[in-house]
Amino acid sequence: MKILIVGSGGREHAIAWSVSKSPKAEKIYCAPGNAGIAEFAECVPIGAMEFDALAAFAAEKEIDLTIIGMDDPLVGGIVDVFEEKGLRVFGPRKNAAILEGSKAFSKDLMKKYHIPTAAYENFDDPEKALEYLRTQARFPIVLKADGLALGKGVLICNSLEEAEAGVREIMQDKKFGTAGDRMVIEEFMTGREVSVLTFVDGKTIRPMTSAQDHKRALDGDKGLNTGGMGTFSPSPFYTDEIDRFCREKIFQPTVDAMAAEGRPFKGIIFFGLMLTEDGPKVLEYNARFGDPEAQVVLPRMKTDILEVMEACVDGTLDKVDLQFEDNAAVCVVLASDGYPVKYEKNIPMYGFENFAGKDGYYCFHAGTKFLDGQIVTNGGRVVGITAKGKDLKEARANAYKATEWIQFANKYMRHDIGKAIDEA
Ligand code: AMP
Ligand code: GLY
């Protein structure tokens, strides 16, 4: 098969690596890709939002399957454009990607189909939102911009004053652009967070092994929200009992709800869950793999990724037995110092050769590029260092050991990725 992957981050590197292991893969292209993906895929300089150019490329190269890694093109309808042209593509159509694209939509869906989530109200008028806040006695309270906001559109407000300022930021100052035309105000929940990524074919859902992200920039979950500073898989807190509950009360009901709404979902549903005292509840849905969740889940997947993805497209996922290794993986993100606010780029990087021939160790590129033949930094999150181990402790020790192998002048990382394991 000839495969095209759309995206340029660590997630797309992990997807491309996984595809490259498939005996079905003959040639891999990635648009636009990055310096790491270029090792086993041909990178083509077409942006992820250039739907017509991407479809024309897929037609010209006779691509057998295009895999969309990122949320923006999915929410923007890239799958519809490919399907109209008769091209095979992995990912939800626009009318299903709305599960991630509109938080107001996803909250209303959960309410209508009794899927456990935080209590909430939707608003499209800032005055109504402010009025509502003044009737609320319990803080913190959570404000969410309705649309895509690079994972930054969620504000946890500790007082009425903070929440009022948050409404103004989101709905009036448009800090997150049109994502803030509408917003959700919801109850603050407490508990452990866990991510479960799943394959879906419109009817059948096959959950992958669980993972946990670390979204804050600094050790001890302090500092600003980021795209994710590290992950581990599996989550020791995601027990068999919780898994059974989620399959029965959250996963399948979500797939059934989307089908009932005339929005059958094919692709990846990423369930962001909180394990509260009252049971697991949905924090958010994403319509794609997580980044850096993919970097710990895919290295542990035994089943051929192309076999599963084709089954999702064809509606035959019920025939697939999805298998994962009985081990663990940890990913530590090496970022540019100053991320997510201000940081330098184009810094030369060294040490990639240290990963050659080391089984169970991976350096997934997120923000890198070639400059005069040398790999340099090209983003806030630069690479994700993943290592496997027989258990989480071993995987964590291996991952931190491997973080030493890559050098660049403004390298920054968290030192407590997977620390929660010690409490399990
Ligand atoms: P989201 O983009 O919806 O995943 O939100 C980003 C982060 O905000 C989540 O990973 C949680 O840590 C936090 N968060 C979102 N919603 C809530 C909530 N209702 N209660 C507590 N924390 C939340
Ligand atoms: N790591 C969180 C996300 O991909 O949304």
Residue 78: the pLDDT is: 98
Q: Is a pLDDT exceeding 80 seen at residue 214?
A: yes
Q: Which domains does the chain have, with CATH numbers?
A: 2-91 (3.40.50.20), 119-187 (3.30.1490.20), 192-319 (3.30.470.20), 328-423 (3.90.600.10)
pLDDT value of position 225? 86
Q: What is the pLDDT of residues 17-54, one digit of tens each?
A: 999 999 999 999 999 999 999 999 999 999 999 999 99
Quick one: pLDDT at residue 372? 94
On the question of pLDDT at 424 being above 80, the answer is no
293 vs 211: CA distance, rounded Å: 6
Each residue of 286-302: pLDDT tens digit?
Answer: 999 999 999 999 999 99
3-state secondary structure the chain: CEEEEEECCHHHHHHHHHHHCCCCCCEEEEEECCCCHHHCCEECCCCCCCHHHHHHHHHHCCCCEEEECCHHHHHHCHHHHHHHCCCCEECCCHHHHHHHHCHHHHHHHHHHCCCCECCEEEECCHHHHHHHHHCCCCCCEEEEECCCCCCCCEEEECCHHHHHHHHHHHHHCCCCHHHHCCEEEEECCCCEEEEEEEEEECCCEEEEEEEEECCEEEHHHEEEECCCCEEEECCCCCCHHHHHHHHHHHHHHHHHHHHHCCCCCEEEEEEEEEEECCEEEEEEEECCCCCCCHHHHHHHECCCHHHHHHHHHHCCHHHCCCCECCCEEEEEEEEECCCCCCCCCCCECECHHHHCCCCCEEEEECCEEEECCEEEECCCEEEEEEEEECCHHHHHHHHHHHHCCCECCCEECCCCCCHHHHHC
Distance 62 CA to ligand 2 centre (A): 31
Q: Please state the rounded mean pLDDT for residues 264-283.
A: 98
**Count of Cβ atoms closer than 10 Å to residue 23 Cβ:** 9
Please report the pLDDT score of residue 279 as a whole number: 97
- The DSSP bridge pattern shows strands 216-218 and 120-123 to be unpaired
Cβ pair 299, 324 in contact under 8 A: no
Pocket residues: Cβ below 6 A from ligand 1: 118, 142, 151, 154, 156, 186-189, 193, 215, 272, 283-284
Which of 154, 196, 291 to probe ligand 2 with, by most ligand atoms within 8 A of CB? 291
Burial class (CB in 10 A: 0-12, 13-18, 19+), 148: buried
Structure tokens at 87: 């091209």
Averaged pLDDT for residues 117-133: 94
Is residue 358 predicted with pLDDT exceeding 90? Answer: yes
Q: Ligand 1 center to residue 196 CA distance, Å?
A: 15
Which residue's C-alpha comes closest to atom 4 of ligand 2?
Answer: 290
Relative to beta strand 216-218, strand 381-389 is unpaired
Give 423's pLDDT tier (boundaries 50, 70, 90). Answer: confident
What separation in Å is there between the alpha carbon of 291 and the centre of ligand 2?
5
- Please give the distance, rounded to the nearest whole angstrom, from the Cα atom of residue 46 to the centre of ligand 1: 33
For residue 288, the ligand 2 atom closest to its alpha carbon is: 4
What is the overall mean pLDDT for the chain?
A: 96
Mutational pocket test of ligand 2: of 195, 284, 285, the residue with most ligand atoms within 8 Å of the beta carbon: 195
User: Residue 74 pLDDT more than 90?
Assistant: yes
Q: How would residue 137 be classed by pLDDT, with cut points 50, 70 and 90?
A: confident
pLDDT one-digit tens code per residue, 385-408: 999 999 999 999 999 999 999 999
CA-nearest residue for atom 1, ligand 1, is 284
Cα radius of gyration rounded to whole Å, the chain: 21
Nearest residue by C-alpha to atom 3 in ligand 1: 284
Instruction: Give me 281's structure tokens.
Output: 């509840």
> What CA–CA distance (Å, rounded) separates 297 from 212?
10
Taking the centre of ligand 1 as the mean of its atom positions, its distance from the CA of residue 154, in whole angstroms, is: 7
Residue of the CA atom closest to atom 11 of ligand 1 = 283
To 5 degrees, how large is the angle CA 98–CA 272–CA 116? 85
CA of 283 to the centre of ligand 1 (A): 6
The mean pLDDT of 142-157, rounded to a whole number, is: 89
The span from the CA of 140 to the CA of 129, in Å, is 16
For residue 289, list its beta bridge partners.
none
